[in-house]
Amino acid sequence: MIFSHGKLLLTSEYVVLDGALALALPTKWGQEFFVSENPDGRSLVHWTALHQGKPWLNATLDYRNGTVLNTNIPGSAEFILKVLMKVKELSASKLKSNTSYSIKTDLQFPANFGLGSSSTLMNNLAQWAAVDAFRLNESCLGGSGYDIAVAQEKSAILYQNQPERIIQKIDFDPDFKKDLIFIHLNQKQNSREGINLYRSREKSAELIEEFSQITHQVLEAKSLENFSDLMILHESKLSDFLGIETVKEKHFENCPGFVKSLGAWGGDFVMSSKFLGFEDYFRGKGFSTVFAFEDLIY
């Protein structure tokens, strides 16, 4: 069995694409990957995907001819086929024409959580086939690659992809972590849309450096108050740059704590801090899925 952790991006969402230093954390949940091989000469992949143990996608794929033979979800099966054909191209030993494979995946978190259903799959496939996960991910999905780095390192990391990829494992264990919470907005965000908006804006080296400096300062924060101020500053700077309101302005204007978007703005998870009655507050706003730091972060 191969396993990859999911991820949350704490700092430098979007700007990580252009070389800003980012802080990312692994989640306890991830994706499992099981495979068995049968040298039957048929060149098939029997793919079974589970979501939290429940069957979701079934497909039979012909990797010799690059076709989907049967499936219950055609669009998803075509994506899996595309990825497998890239794995075939990159791998020295897997998906060669005398072997069939039975592959089962199990995503441990709801697909709409945005914790890395695709990146965990890419990393699992890359480990199995002994190929470069960053190259596979770039060919099939794109993005900065920080999510692949988290899956590989199984640790909190500092990540930078320009001018060259730098990955540094760190111990993110602030004294105030027990005061941090994660709230799911239940509005799965298309990260492509946010990335396209970001890329349409004129960027400067100064902007990238500002977010890198915030990341450094976050690591040095000694108190919840200091950390909160940095989260508010980060949200404000990115809001001004993107020209869209912050998640706090949109949903939680009267929240007594900070509210910080994580990853694509507008959906998935946000981070805040505990305050008196915080669970009732978020539930009253329609957001009942709230996790403590220690329950979600690996």
- The CATH number given to whatever domain includes residue 229 is 3.30.70.890
The answer to pTM > 0.95 is no
Greatest CA span in the chain, whole angstroms? 64
Looking at residue 91, its pLDDT comes to 97
Closest among 245, 12, 6, 198 to 112, alpha carbons compared: 6
Domain finish residue from 169, 186, 215: 169
The pLDDT of 205-232, averaged and rounded, is 97
Shared domain for 254 and 131, answered yes or no, is no
Shared domain for 161 and 21, answered yes or no, is yes
The pLDDT of 208-235, averaged and rounded, is 97
Domain range for 181 is 173-296
Shared domain for 77 and 157, answered yes or no, is yes
Shared domain for 145 and 291, answered yes or no, is no
Q: Write out the two tokens for 223.
A: 């108190």
Looking at residue 188, its pLDDT comes to 56
Looking at residue 210, its pLDDT comes to 97
Shared domain for 101 and 122, answered yes or no, is yes
**Which residues face 62 on adjacent strands?**
44, 67
Closest among 47, 48, 295 to 182, alpha carbons compared: 295
How many domains are there within the chain? 2
Shared domain for 110 and 205, answered yes or no, is no
Shared domain for 158 and 184, answered yes or no, is no
- Whether cis (ω within 30° of 0) applies to the bond prior to 110 is no
Q: Which of 149-153, 157-161, 224-228, 241-245 has the lowest mean pLDDT?
A: 241-245
The pLDDT of 242-269, averaged and rounded, is 90
Domain finish residue from 148, 169, 190: 169
Angle at the Cα of 271 from the Cα atoms of 205 and 215, rounded to 5 degrees: 30
Separation between Cα atoms, residue 92 and residue 108, nearest integer Å: 30
Q: Write out the two tokens for 219.
A: 């690591």
Shared domain for 46 and 153, answered yes or no, is yes
Shared domain for 125 and 232, answered yes or no, is no
Shared domain for 11 and 148, answered yes or no, is yes
Shared domain for 160 and 17, answered yes or no, is yes
- The CATH number given to whatever domain includes residue 41 is 3.30.230.10
Looking at residue 197, its pLDDT comes to 76
Separation between Cα atoms, residue 25 and residue 269, nearest integer Å: 13
Q: Is the pLDDT of residue 267 over 90?
A: no
Shared domain for 8 and 70, answered yes or no, is yes
Domain finish residue from 169, 193, 218: 169
245: exposed, middle or buried (C-beta count within 10 Å: 0-12, 13-18, 19+)?
middle
